[in-house]
Amino acid sequence: MLGGMLAGHSESGGETIEKNGKKYKLFYGMSSDTAMKKHAGGVAEYRASEGKTVEVPYKGPVEVTVKDGLGGVRSTCRYVGAAKLKELSHRTTFIRVTQQLNTVFGNND
One pLDDT digit (tens) per residue for the chain, 109 residues:
688 889 999 999 889 999 999 999 998 877 777 878 887 777 777 777 777 888 999 999 999 999 999 999 999 999 999 999 999 999 998 877 776 666 666 665 5
pLDDT value of residue 102? 66
Beta strand ranges found along 31-102 (DSSP E): 54-57
CB of 103 closer than 8 Å to CB of 97: no
If phi > 0 it is left, if psi is from -120 to 50 it is alpha, else beta; for residue 14 that is: left
Kindly report the pTM of this predicted structure.
0.66
Bridge partners (DSSP) listed for residue 25 = 16, 56
Task: Name the DSSP letter for residue 58.
Answer: P
The end-to-end CA distance of the chain, in Å, is 20
Q: State the Cα–Cα distance between residues 41 and 47, nearest whole angstrom.
A: 13
pLDDT value of residue 108? 57
Structural domain spans, the chain: 1-61, 64-93
Strand pairing category for 54-57 and 22-27: antiparallel
